[in-house]
Structure 1
Amino acid sequence: MSHRVFSYGTLRLPEVQRALYGREVPTVADELPGYALEWVQITDPDVIAKSGLDRHPILRRGGDGPAVAGAYLELTDDDLAATDDYEVDDYVRVLVTLASGASAWAYVASADAHR
């Protein structure tokens, strides 16, 4: 099965894709309205090793500004499971509607997931 995952940060990096999926995956530019970007401190050494960064962007619900720019990736079931393992507990996967009208999974701030 194929899954769309909206990325606004490290999942678009070729080195992260190779580490998670064993290959680079195509992306399709899109935007996510109704959210804003903030930053979260990453402490998981495995995630830091894959991304090379100890601060990652995070989506917070309720952004009044322009839509968050990004791209969606087409992932397999195994790829999606690898992505779930990569994302730290600050994130939770939710279904969103992108500016294009496409549905996709997005990793948003856990605190905002059920608001």
Structure 2
Amino acid sequence: MDEWGCTVQRLFSYGTLRLPSVQIEHFGRLLVGTEDRLPGYRVFPLRITDSAVIAASGADVHPILRASPEASDVVEGTVFELSDKELAAADRYEVGDYVRVLVRLESGLPAWVYAEAAAPGDTAGPGSGRDTGVTGSEKRVERIVVVGDSIA
């Protein structure tokens, strides 16, 4: 909770959600974040075909996060604190190739991140049951469904 009693969600961004144009369009404000790193993942290029996403980011190739077999691999990025409504807006922005998962960052903070959605039968992506470093009452989300301003 923040100082106004609202739920705060941490989102780790390694790509276009760090762009001011994307933040203004989808959150209505510029986000303030803290640099952090995500161990055990790599970033790969992904061709985007959604015209609204391309217009917001100015690019048709975006980075996509994929679990790495190399524990030494690390992805640099920024942790933002978002409201539930802003997190839902981020879900609407990301195309179907991404899935939101909860991970533990190098700093020790748990945070949401958009990673490659594993295809059925795929054993390499976030849906493979790979250890994300999140334990206890923290939950891992395989698929996020957005209905209006609600997450189901």
TM class by smaller structure: over 0.9
> Which entry has the higher C-alpha Rg, 1 or 2?
2
Q: Any stretches of 5+ residues in structure 2 without a counterpart?
A: 1-6, 119-124, 129-152
Q: TM-score, normalised by structure 1?
A: 0.97
Deviation of 1:63 after TM superposition, in Å, equals 5.2
SS at match of 1:74: strand
Secondary structure at the counterpart of residue 106 of structure 2: coil
Runs of 4+ off more than 2 Å: 63-66
Structure 1 unaligned residues grouped into runs of 5+: none
Aligned counterparts, 1:81-92, within 5 A: 81-92=88-99
Q: Deviations over 1:65-97 (max 9, x none)?
A: 441000111000110000000000000000000
Higher-strand-fraction structure: 1
The 3-state SS of whatever aligns with 2:127 is coil
Q: How large is the Cα RMSD of the aligned pairs?
A: 0.9
Identity among equivalent pairs (%):
51
Residues paired across the two proteins, number: 115
- The structure carrying a bigger helix percent of its residues is 1
By relative contact order (CA 8 Å, sep 6+), the higher-ranking structure is 1
One-letter code aligned to 1:67: V
* Matching residue of 1:27: 33
